[in-house]
């Protein structure tokens, strides 16, 4: 029989083991730890509401314009105009948000967007000339609130230097994917079941309400960064001028002035072509085999693979750095795209194509998440919102290019040829990644720098 002292020692040893296990558990990056980040829920909930319209805009335009003109071609062209306008103009709003604060930019932007969408609805319902629809589509797309990049910028500000940044990027990718599943379904139901303009009305209304609530959460927004002149005028007398000068290096220019950011834009552009190419190609393929009703199921396999991989990426504690992970994952995406393209040329094998669609979805998420993780390490803190907006804009631009190219190929060379578009887009992007891979490493990566307020604990770096 053990003595009381021995039992006490065993109890203390057990307690020590429990503490070590608890400490290791708390240090492991995961979704539970991420969602316990101070202030996270104050921007997550309104951000989730405010980002839903982003996936409703283009499909709502297609349905309304097709109803009023009777042409899917014209409807797609007007929708593409809004998408391209969004991709090209949105980064400028991100840059303004970095300089003046997200709330200061978002509040007037959602009012402008509501008016622009109202003008587009009026032009369509009043049978305005075709050129008027294209003109109205430009501000409707250009003023679309970029909530997802703003949420990502808030995560970056809260988690500076933390391994949880990969988890946050994965969480946002899952949320975005969920948005692109729910948004189009909701828009379609409103346009077909209520009124052809109901989708756009709902999009504008939710953008306005959700955007204002999100803009009001100013406590969690990244600290606005002024220009060099502004900072110099407000610098103190105790060495602040030197700090400002160091921090402002690279702030006055766009995030695209960072070479690595341009490489990541090219990589994400290729991913956008996967989204656009798969959507159109699957539609053409299912129609060609006389089963258009399974289009949603086929695309669901692709989306499910994407979501599952995104969840997994955020739950893993990675040993390799994001640069290495991207250079490993992207060739896998190209191989998956090649398998899909080859299978589509050989025959109408629905089950095999669905399985390969899941595979390409599984390969998309690691590449996308790693790009968003990397951009945070490459650009100055004062350009993060703009940088994230360039990436999301590149996805939209790639999607528009991919859907257009896949549609042209399907129309002129057969339904299966549209699947060559994801292969071409990712193949070219991989060449850019390999040629400029050194730009993916942040400057002075070996130095340890102060990362700002709220970074209280020491964290490990991949």
Domain ranges, residue 321: 254-443
pTM: 0.72
Same-domain check for residues 315 and 369 = yes
d(CA 345, CA 337): 13
Same-domain check for residues 197 and 297 = no
Same-domain check for residues 317 and 367 = yes
Q: Average of pLDDT values for 88-105?
A: 85
Domain final position from 174, 206, 223:
223
Same-domain check for residues 115 and 66 = yes
Same-domain check for residues 210 and 313 = no
Residue 245 lies in a domain: no
Same-domain check for residues 57 and 113 = yes
CATH number of the domain to which 152 belongs:
1.20.1250
Domain final position from 206, 223, 240:
223
CATH number of the domain to which 300 belongs:
1.20.1250.20
Same-domain check for residues 301 and 404 = yes
Residue 244 lies in a domain: no
Same-domain check for residues 140 and 276 = no
Same-domain check for residues 314 and 210 = no
pLDDT, tens digit, for every residue of 318-328? 788 888 999 99
pLDDT, tens digit, for every residue of 250-282? 444 677 788 889 999 999 999 988 987 887 788
Same-domain check for residues 45 and 100 = yes
Highest mean pLDDT among 97-106, 141-150, 324-333, 450-459: 324-333
pLDDT, tens digit, for every residue of 23-50? 444 445 677 888 888 888 888 888 888 8
What average pLDDT does the chain have?
A: 79
Residue 229 lies in a domain: no
Residue 302 lies in a domain: yes
The lowest-confidence range among 279-288, 320-329, 417-426, 449-458 is: 449-458
The fraction of the chain above a pLDDT of 70, given in percent, is 82
Torsion sign, CA atoms 432, 434, 435, 439: positive
**Does the pLDDT of residue 431 top 90, yes or no?**
yes
Residue 346 lies in a domain: yes
The fraction of the chain above a pLDDT of 90, given in percent, is 22
The token duo for 160 is 């500076």
The residues, ordered by sequence, that sit 6+ positions from 244 with a Cβ below 8 Å of its Cβ are 228, 231, 232, 235
Q: Average of pLDDT values for 53-80?
A: 79
Residue whose C-alpha is closest to residue 150's, from 453, 400, 397, 391: 391
State the total domains in the chain.
2
Same-domain check for residues 149 and 295 = no
The pLDDT value recorded for residue 72 is 62
From residue 260, how far is each of 40, 42, 68, 163, 358 by CA, in Å? 28, 32, 45, 20, 30
Residue 233 lies in a domain: no
Residue 16 lies in a domain: no
Same-domain check for residues 159 and 46 = yes
């Amino acid at each position: 029989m053990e003595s009381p002292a021995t039992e006490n020692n065993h109890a203390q040893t057990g307690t020590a083991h429990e503490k070590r296990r608890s400490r290791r558990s708390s240090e492991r990056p995961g979704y539970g730890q991420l969602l316990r980040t101070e202030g996270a829920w104050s921007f997550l909930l309104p951000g989730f509401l405010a980002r839903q319209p982003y996936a409703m805009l283009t499909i709502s335009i297609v349905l309304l314009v097709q109803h009023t003109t009777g042409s899917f071609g014209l409807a797609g062209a007007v929708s593409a105009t809004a998408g391209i306008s969004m991709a090209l103009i949105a980064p400028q709003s991100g840059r303004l948000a970095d300089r003046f604060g997200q709330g200061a930019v978002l509040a007037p932007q959602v009012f402008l967007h509501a008016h622009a969408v109202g003008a587009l609805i009026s032009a369509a319902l009043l049978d305005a000339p075709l050129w008027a629809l294209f003109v109205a589509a430009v501000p409707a797309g250009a003023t679309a609130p970029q909530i997802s990049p703003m949420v990502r910028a808030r995560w970056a500000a809260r988690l500076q230097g933390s391994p949880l940044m990969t988890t946050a990027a994965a969480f946002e990718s899952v949320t975005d994917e969920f948005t692109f599943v729910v948004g189009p379904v909701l828009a379609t139901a409103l346009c077909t079941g209520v009124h052809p303009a109901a989708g756009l009305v709902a999009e504008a209304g939710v953008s306005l309400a959700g955007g204002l609530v999100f803009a009001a959460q100013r406590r969690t927004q990244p600290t606005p960064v002024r220009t060099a002149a502004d900072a110099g005028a407000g610098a103190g007398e105790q060495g602040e001028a030197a700090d400002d000068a160091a921090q402002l290096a690279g702030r006055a220019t766009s995030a695209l002035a960072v070479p690595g950011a341009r490489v990541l834009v090219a990589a994400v552009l290729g991913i956008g072509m996967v989204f656009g190419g798969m959507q159109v190609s699957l539609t053409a393929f299912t129609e060609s085999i006389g089963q258009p009703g399974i289009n949603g199921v086929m695309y669901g396999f692709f989306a499910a693979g994407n979501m599952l991989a995104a969840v997994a990426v955020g739950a893993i504690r990675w040993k390799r750095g994001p640069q290495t992970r991207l250079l490993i994952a992207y060739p896998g995406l190209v191989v998956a795209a090649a398998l899909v393209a080859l299978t589509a040329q050989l025959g109408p094998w629905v089950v095999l194509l669905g399985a390969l669609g899941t595979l390409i979805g599984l390969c998309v998420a690691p590449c996308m998440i790693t790009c968003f993780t990397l951009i945070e390490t490459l650009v100055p803190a004062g350009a993060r919102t703009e940088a994230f907006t360039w990436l999301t804009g590149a996805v939209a631009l790639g999607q528009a290019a991919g859907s257009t190219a896949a549609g042209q190929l399907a129309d002129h060379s057969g339904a299966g040829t549209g699947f060559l578009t994801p292969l071409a887009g990712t193949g070219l992007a991989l060449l850019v990644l390999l040629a400029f891979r050194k730009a993916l490493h942040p400057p002075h990566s070996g130095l340890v720098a102060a990362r700002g307020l709220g970074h209280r604990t020491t964290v490990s770096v991949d």
